[in-house]
Amino acid sequence: MEFLNQWLLPIILIWPAVAALLTVFSNNDKVIKWGGILASLLPLGLSTYMLFAYDFNVGGIQFEVNVPWIESLNASFHLGVDGLSAPLIFLTALLTTLSVYYSAGVINTRVKEYFVNFHLLALSMFGVFMALDYVLFYLFWEISLVPMYLLIGIWGGKNRSYASIKFFIYTLIGSVAMLLAILGTYFASGTFDIIQAAAAKPFMDLPADRALFLSSLAFWGFFLGFAFKVPSFPFHTWLPDAHTEAPTAGSVILAGVLLKLGAYGFLRIVLPTFPMASNYWSMWIVALGAIAIVYGAFVCVAQSDLKRLIAYSSVSHMGYVMLGIGAAAYAFGYVDGQPMLGDEAVMNSAAMAINGAALQMFNHGIITGALFLLVGVIYERAHTRELIKFGGLSTKTPYYYGMMLVAAFASLGLPGLAGFWAEFFTFRGAFALVPLWAAFGVIGIVMTAVYILWRIIQNVFLGEYDPTKLDHWTTVQGEHADGPTDMVGFEKITLWPLIILMFVLGIYPTLILNFFNQSAVEILEFVKSVL
């Protein structure tokens, strides 16, 4: 166990690279597919073990590995997980396994390249969540662009070229802005270590106005990098295209994990490292988050394409995360010369806001992952996603209907399912700190119910089934079928783990919340100590 604990993170991280390498040297599609599925099980198993092995009594960063890397830069191969990253690594492993498994069923062209890309994608995502060194963090952050670009561009829909390049360039511009901020932070703090840089209070030794100016620049550099990824309104315009054109498993990873990288960056880097600038600009984060919630929800209602609708719902749902983060940043301020965090109630509200944001990251991963898979299920059969072509599917495909109901209600925030708790905590925290914007955000919750119930459930599933609307149904294998056929084995297997998690976390959110709360309190205590 000692050995495993010491090498846990490097094994999870390197394993996908090994899998990718083996895939390169294999020429049998079956071997590649099953090998890929089996390979993805190891990180899943290890990350599950990691959740159980994380010691709450000790807290903080655990399973740390710190090896010198580029000595003259003082950059090191520094990995570690805390309560914030551990569940996200588990989420990454889970969604990767499910996506690989699902892809094995539906991808039949250029199989080798597909699986190599997928393993590399897994590598980069694990890397971002584990890295505690800016150079390493940036390395994995940028590498994740490339396989996703290829996944969208090669296996995507009709408009894939446009969507993939748009995805790449938007996120690249954000990333390079972040690179500048990383460099600025480095010159101010003298280290590339994420934890030490925060502890060094970059820019704070300068005169007050200069400190605010420079740390604001660094803040906006990081903000651009992360906001493009989240994506926060108004940086979201790449998202609908990329999600809509990506292959199903690509959309699952994109929505499930890649968007979380941005939100994770805010919590891991921006809040602890630049508390003053975060606070100064907190109302911007809050406002952008609240606008995203409402705007995203309204746009959803207007969509005619089912996948595009789900894509916009991500904009809306990631708005909750921004709202929570912004609310917490607002609490870093001073009232009458006293830090607000000194007040127990404010501390609790800020912790709730962070908890809500983090929980929303996790839940959005499983819920939207499931929704994209469900869209894939119908698309493989109907070869269209036009809402107008569907109707009355509940009688034809009851199993599918059932799955969709659970996922859709979870997305809408029905109590008892996972989505509810994230919204609850976010708004509970936000109402106490930034009541007006939180109240504005509530409009989005109402509109979510509209697009989920009306656009998805009613349009697709309820009413009479009309066979003339769409006359070229196939089975999932592409053979001709007389009408919609229900889900088959591999699709069910892909979805069940997500559905189960929605129930489990809906009934007993503490499972994951324990981790997030640990980190939320640690972040806030840290900020309080450096303010």
Partner 1 sequence: MNEIGVGSLGSVLPEIVLLIGGLLILLLDTALTSKDNKSSGLSYMMVAILFLFGGLIGAIFQMGMEPHVALFTVQVDPFGAFMKIAVILGMLLVAIAGGSYLNRRTTGHGEFWTLFMFVTMAMTTAVSAINLLMIFLAVEFLSITSYILVGFLREDKRSAEAGVKYFLYGSVASSVMLYGMSLLYGASGSLNLYEIADAFAANEVVGLVAIPATLLTLVGLGFKASLAPFFQWAPDTYDGAPTPITAYLSTASKAVGFAVMARLLITALGGFRAEWVPLLVGLSILTMTAGNLMALRQSSVKRMLAYSSIAQAGYILMGLAAVVSSTQADLDTLVMNGLNGLLIYLFAYLFTNVGAFMVVMAVEEFTGSHDISAYEGLVRRAPMLAWAMLIFLLSLTGIPATGGFMGKFYVFGAAVQHQYFWLVVAAVINVGISAFYYLNVARAMFFSLPEDEADVAATPSLTARFTAALPVQAIIFVCVIATIWIGLYPQSLINWANTGSRYLLALAM
Binding residues (CB under 8 A) for partner 1: these are 69-74, 113, 135, 138-139, 142-143, 145-146, 149-150, 153-154, 160-161, 164-165, 168-169, 172-173, 176-177, 179-180, 183-184, 186-187, 217
Question: 243: part of which helix (H) or strand (E)?
Answer: helix 238-245
Q: How many CB atoms lie within 10 A of CB 211?
A: 18
Question: Among residues 316, 287, 278, 321, which one has the least CA distance to residue 434?
Answer: 287
Which residue's CB is nearer to partner 1, number 200 or number 501? Answer: 200
Minimum CB–partner distance for residue 139 and partner 1 (Å): 4
Question: Among residues 223, 501, 521, 511, which one has the least CA distance to residue 355?
Answer: 521
Minimum CB–partner distance for residue 171 and partner 1 (Å): 10
Which residue's CB is nearer to partner 1, number 65 or number 165? Answer: 165
Which residue's CB is nearer to partner 1, number 161 or number 304? Answer: 161
Cα–Cα distance, 151 to 147 (Å, whole number): 6
Please answer whether residues 175 and 141 qualify as being in contact, where contact means their C-beta atoms are separated by less than 8 angstroms.
yes
Phi, psi angle pair for 54, to nearest 5°: -65, 130
Minimum CB–partner distance for residue 303 and partner 1 (Å): 26
Which residue's CB is nearer to partner 1, number 173 or number 531? Answer: 173
Minimum CB–partner distance for residue 73 and partner 1 (Å): 6
Which residue's CB is nearer to partner 1, number 127 or number 333? Answer: 127
Phi, psi angle pair for 480, to nearest 5°: -65, 145
Minimum CB–partner distance for residue 365 and partner 1 (Å): 25
Minimum CB–partner distance for residue 151 and partner 1 (Å): 11
Which residue's CB is nearer to partner 1, number 172 or number 387? Answer: 172
Question: 87: part of which helix (H) or strand (E)?
Answer: helix 85-106
Please answer whether residues 263 and 516 qualify as being in contact, where contact means their C-beta atoms are separated by less than 8 angstroms.
no
Question: Among residues 292, 296, 306, which one has the least CA distance to residue 383?
Answer: 306
Question: 241: part of which helix (H) or strand (E)?
Answer: helix 238-245
Minimum CB–partner distance for residue 70 and partner 1 (Å): 6
Distances (CA, A) of 466 to 219, 401, 405, 482: 54, 17, 21, 12
Which residue's CB is nearer to partner 1, number 180 or number 212? Answer: 180
